[in-house]
Amino acid sequence: MTTPAKGYQTGDVGTDKLVDDLVTHLGLDATGNVVREILTSAVKLGLESKDIGDLKLANTALKELRYSFKVFSPYRDIRKVIIFGSARSDRKSPEYTMAEDFAREMCGKGYMIVTGGGPGVMEAGNKGALEGTDFALNIRLPFEQKPNPFVSQKDKLINYKYFFTRKLFFVKETDATAVFPGGFGTLDEGFEMLTLVQTGKSRPRPIILMEPEGSRYWHNCREFLNKQLVNNSYISPDDSHLFTIATTVAEAVNYIDDFYRIYHSIRYDGALTILRLNRSIAPTTLTQINKKFHDILTEGEIRPSLPTPQEVQNNEFLQLPRLALNFNRHHFNRLHELIYAINKD
């Protein structure tokens, strides 16, 4: 096992040796260096912080992360959809019905459902999901938010103290986002998702703003975005490619299906961006996307590629065809457009 970088140690020779000995005793060949740094961070926190509140925060956050990794780990190879929406939506409301139907249809397509675990639209998502195919990421609040009764398996219910750890897993463990009408929390979750995708801090994904019959919620929101954000150059007109508005369940399901029809996943490897595909695209399509998207390349062209050495080492979808490009890591809205263009092949 390689020794840790000298730049990240506790500063005490005896303590650093104890940390090394513990990692060696655990026999963590593949993950040993990372675990060593985690242990070193815990020790440094104890040595440097005199505030018990700071230590409790770090301790609780780490516990929430550990348990969430454990819950999601067996299901990493199954695509998942996160459903956001109001906790206050009545069971007879059109958004409740739409969310329940959407969850049922997505499960029928082989997806799993993730919700915030509370009442309203979140409850509808868990209710519509097939047995054993849903997760509930509940936040402990002094009012309003209690786990809904439709979480099919309690081992997939996670109760969080902190919003930031909960929101991390909303993004990290899902592949598509459906946002129903809601209040501050829903808008916060929806706009954070858009921000993460816009800035490349989240993988590309379909984001669908779900508008039930008789509602103008998202159309009015889009008018505001165009008038106040686009017209004042706070966002680019191309950022509209990061989301779509769906007025029916079928429209939303098809949008997600289409996003992953040919595109499979993305991998950043040094200066290269690798787009893994479910199948190869036609030479004419490759010519067309090179012509249309040359502006987002720092050099070269979009080209077929073999798995990178890092992908081979990690055994990452080696059977899939790939495209490699020197993406500028800036215009992620255009990267979404590129994915849509590939999916039209």
DSSP labels for 34-55? Answer: HHHHHHHHHHHHHHH---HHHH
Query: Is 7's pLDDT higher than 90?
Result: no
pLDDT tens digits for range 147-185? 888 987 788 999 999 999 999 999 999 999 999 999 999
- Mean pLDDT in residue range 192-221: 96
Question: pLDDT band for position 308 (50/70/90)?
Answer: very high
Query: Is 4's pLDDT higher than 80?
Result: no
CB of 167 closer than 8 Å to CB of 139 = no
Predicted pLDDT of residue 294: 97
pLDDT tens digits for range 48-64? 999 999 999 999 999 99
**Average pLDDT in the chain:** 94
Long-range contacts of 46-50 (CB under 8 A, 24+ apart): 47/10
Query: Is 306's pLDDT higher than 80?
Result: yes
Predicted pLDDT of residue 152: 76
Predicted pLDDT of residue 144: 56
Query: Is 1's pLDDT higher than 60?
Result: no
Burial class from Cβ neighbours inside 10 Å (0-12, 13-18, 19+) for residue 295 reads: exposed
| Predicted TM-score (pTM) of this structure | 0.93
Residue type, 93: S
Query: Is 309's pLDDT higher than 80?
Result: yes
pLDDT tens digits for range 314-339? 999 999 999 999 999 999 999 999 99
- Mean pLDDT in residue range 66-78: 96
How far is CA 207 from each of CA 116, 171, 195, 276, 277, rounded to the nearest angstrom?
A: 17, 12, 12, 20, 20
